[in-house]
Structure formats: C-alpha cells, structure tokens
Structure 1
C-alpha cells in the first residue's frame, strides 16, 4: 500500500505541501493588494496636503 491518503494518486505529504503553498500564495497576494492600497492612499494624501517644505518651521 502506498501513501495515497487523499485519493489523488500523490503521497499525502505532497498534497499537504500543495495546500500550504496555495495558502501562502493567497496570503502573499492579499498582502500585496493591501500594501498597494496603502501606498495609493499615502500618495493621495500627500498630493492633497501642502508639502512640508512650504510650511513655516518654528524657530527659523
């Protein structure tokens, strides 16, 4: 008898690794989407607010 515990013809460890890789790919993709969204929000907020060089500094 082989290690075909999942019915796919592959060893159980390989199927477990595939599930883990799929989970990690999905998490990475979601993280990238979130970071891009945050970067866009930061870029939008810097465009709408005055630049720090234009603001008067205290003591100068």
Structure 2
C-alpha cells in the first residue's frame, strides 16, 4: 500500500469517527433539551462530559 493510499484511508477513518461523534453529541443535546423541558424546576444533572 502506498503512502497516499494509507493517507486516504486514514482520512476516511477520521471522517467516519467525526460523523459518529457529531451524531452522539447531537443526541446528547436533544436528550438534555427534553429533560429540561420535562422538569424546568429541577437542576440539570451533570454528565461528566464537560471540562471546567
């Protein structure tokens, strides 16, 4: 396999991982929005994903 083939395959793998990550993050945002809409008086639960 040539270096250009390896680079192309790497780019494809990275692109796929980015798409999966974006889908997962969008699903998390939707879930948080739904839980906020159901219980507006309760504080949101921390998920551990955020870094302060």
TM range (shorter): 0.7 to 0.9
Larger radius of gyration: 1
The question of 1:50 aligning with 2:40 is answered yes
Q: By percentage of residues, which structure has more helix? A: 2
Question: Taking structure 1 as the reference length, what is the TM-score of the superposition?
Answer: 0.65
Deviations 1:16-60 (Å, cap 9, x if unpaired)? 0000000000000000000000000000000000235xxxxxxxx
Name 2:16's counterpart in structure 1.
26
- Large movers: runs of 4+ above 4 Å: none
The gaps in structure 2 that reach 5 residues or longer are: 43-52
How many residues align structurally? Answer: 42
Q: Higher relative contact order by CA 8 Å / sep ≥ 6: 1 or 2?
A: 2
RMSD: 1.1
Question: Equivalents in 2 of 1:33, 1:43: separation in Å?
Answer: 15
The gaps in structure 1 that reach 5 residues or longer are: 1-5, 7-11, 53-60
